[in-house]
Structure 1
Amino acid sequence: MPLVVEDVMRLLCSIAEERKMQAAVKHSGKGALVTGAVAFLGGLVGGPPGLAVGGAVGGLLGAWMTSGQFQPIPQILMQLPPSEQQKLFNEVTAIVRHLEWTDVVQLTMLVMGSEALKQQLVAMLVNYVTKELRAEVQYGD
């Protein structure tokens, strides 16, 4: 049975939900900029001790600004533009092409029942998120 993009997105969402996958775009440049700016200001105001205090405060502020920005991967997948969803569709189709199914429910059951298939799809999804979206993947709550 031919697959449609929406069905593949739902399948990937099911797998990502089961693994509680989240992703965050890395903002390390922003954190480094804040750290450097606060350290510079501390150095201007307080000399060498101000530089040390500014660096410490700036580092904490930069870390705080860039933390906690994880989004559930299913949410990210459903917000992807059609061209990106098509890329994922093509990759999933290559992985599941050898399976025989009659509808998307049966395909989902086949995939969810096979740890090897789930692992392949998770690896493909992690690769896509880290390379194409330049995001960090996290599992669990």
Structure 2
Amino acid sequence: MPVDLEEFINGIALLADNRNMRVTLKQSGKGAAVCGAMCFIGGLIGGPVGLAVGGTVGGVTAYKMSSNFRTVGDIIQNELTQEEKWRLQEHIVNSVRQIHPTDIAMLLPLIMNTPSLQEAVLKTVVTFITNEMRYTIAN
């Protein structure tokens, strides 16, 4: 009996969310540049006090800019194309092939109840997200 792809992907997304896996959307460099620029401008305008104020304002601004962390589950459910979802499912099935599931419909409940399989699946998800989607996992 074939398993519904969306059901399988939602289960993997739930597993990733339970582990609080997040990705960063490459905003750290911009945040550092903003913080440094604000500190520099503050120092030019107000001297030592301006450095402190500029650094504080720059830090808060950088924080607001870099709060672009998303959960891996959200990325899996909402950003993957159908082809990428099929490839992710194929990667996961290949990563746990040693258990020899006779039916892919049995695979998801088995993964959800076996910690060692969860680790294998999560490693596969991390590899897929970092190599194929070029995101950085933030844990």
Instruction: For 2:83 and 2:43, locate their aligned partners in 1 and report how far apart those are by CA, in whole Å.
Output: 49
- Runs of 5+ consecutive residues of structure 1 not aligned to the other structure: none
User: Paired residue for 1:71?
Assistant: 70
* Letter in structure 2 aligned against 1:136: I
Give 1:53-68 correspondences, 5 Å limit.
53-67=53-67
Aligned length: 136
Q: Distance in 2 between matches of 1:63 and 1:121?
A: 32
Report the AA paired with residue 45 of structure 1: I
Q: Which amino acid letter does the alignment assign opposite residue 59 of structure 2? A: G
Q: Which residue of 2 aligns with 1:107?
A: 107
Identify the residue that residue 10 of structure 1 maps to in structure 2: 10
**Root-mean-square deviation (CA), in Å?**
2.8
- Kindly report structure 1 stretches of 4+ aligned residues shifted beyond 6 Å: none
Q: Partners of 1:88 and 1:59 in 2: how far apart?
A: 37
Task: State the TM-score, normalized to the length of structure 1.
Answer: 0.73
> 2:130–2:136: 8 Å Cα contact kept in structure 1?
yes
Partner Cα separation in structure 2 for residue 58 and residue 71 of structure 1 = 23
CA deviation string 1:92-118 (max 9, x = no partner) = 1212334224452x2222222221111
State how far apart, in whole Å, the 2-side matches of 1:54 and 1:116 are: 49
CA contact (8 A) 1:26 1:136 kept: no
1:72-96 Cα deviation digits (max 9, x unpaired): 3222111212333233122112123
Corresponding letter in the other structure for 2:74: Q
Distance in 2 separating the partners of 1:31 and 1:17: 26
Identity of aligned residues (%): 34
Query: Normalising to structure 2: TM-score of the pair?
Result: 0.74
* CA deviation profile, 1:41-97 (whole Å, cap 9, x unmatched): 213322455345423432343134323x33332221112123332331221121233
Counterpart in 2 of 1:81? 81
Over 3 Å counting, the alpha-carbon distance change for 1:25 and 1:3 in structure 2 is: same
SS in 2 for 1:94: helix
Other structure's SS at 1:87 match: helix
